[in-house]
Chains A and B, each alone.
Chain A
């Protein structure tokens, strides 16, 4: 359950990171590919080497979607409806992988925000990303 305070904190963090969405997104993706090589299997059609244009634009896409969801967390199912369909019927990414990316996103946030990524912020963000992933996989079955 996310409190009002937590929702506000999450919204603020993603608002601040929106201008650097490509950096944040590609950093998280690179971490995921390095620690969990199985995740690379979903990107055989892209160049995901460090610094590649594909990595940057894909990372940006993901972070902007998360930031959009963070604007009004109570409307997550509505906001994510098109992405739900995309992931369920086209991408069909095994939902276990959402956990892996969420973890790497938390590490990226810790790296960039340092001591500002307090335990309270971490808890809120972990809950939000779990909820986001759960909504994203709602149409799978």
Chain B
């Protein structure tokens, strides 16, 4: 089981309470598709992803970004049991979506950069970053857990 310090729990709940899923989600997903363009392979039906501008304006990307970011709520609400809370989602990403689990790590990086850009250095301190990255690492691990 993952052990969280009080400081880490505080950091994560502070950040989460100030994160607008509808804002951060679309930004994180568009960033993923621009910075790591091979991830576009998972979104063949999304329409125009040919330029960064097209990606930023793409409504399907925005909608999906919201969905994915919203999925983090499960982890925030189940911090002491993330592995089990994500079991079904993990199976789905493996069996149905066939997503290479390394992509979870890469999306987590993009989410972190977007959060950093939004909060700036005085809120997103080294300590907050550590807690946030640890949290995302646990989510990433849980999502890959049911792959076989």
Contact = CB atoms under 8 A, between A and B. Distances in A.
B83 to A, nearest CB: 21
A80 B31 CA distance: 30
Interface of B: 30-31, 34-35, 52, 55-56, 109, 112-114, 116-121, 124, 126-127, 129-130, 133-134
A31 interface: yes
A34 B31 CA distance: 25
Contact of A35 (B31, B113, B129): B129
A112 B127 CA distance: 17
23 contacts: A27-B121, A34-B127, A34-B130, A35-B126, A35-B129, A35-B130, A50-B126, A104-B129, A108-B121, A110-B113, A110-B116, A111-B116, A111-B119, A112-B121, A114-B117, A119-B34, A119-B35, A119-B56, A120-B34, A122-B31, A122-B35, A122-B113, A126-B35
Interface in A33-85: 33-35, 50
A101 interface: no
Nearest to A117: B117
A34 B117 CA distance: 19
Contacts, number: 62
Interface in A103-141: 103-104, 106-108, 110-115, 117-120, 122-123, 126
A122 B113 CA distance: 9
A80 to B, nearest CB: 24
Report the 4 A-B pairs with minimum CB-CB distance, sorted nearest first.
Answer: A119-B34, A110-B116, A34-B126, A111-B121
Interface of A: 27, 30-31, 33-35, 50, 103-104, 106-108, 110-115, 117-120, 122-123, 126
Contacts of B34: 119-120, 122-123
Nearest to B32: A119
A118 B120 CA distance: 14
A106 B121 contact: no
Contact of A123 (B35, B120, B121): B35
Contacts of A27: 121, 126
A33 B130 CA distance: 9
Nearest to B30: A119
Contacts of A110: 113-114, 116-117
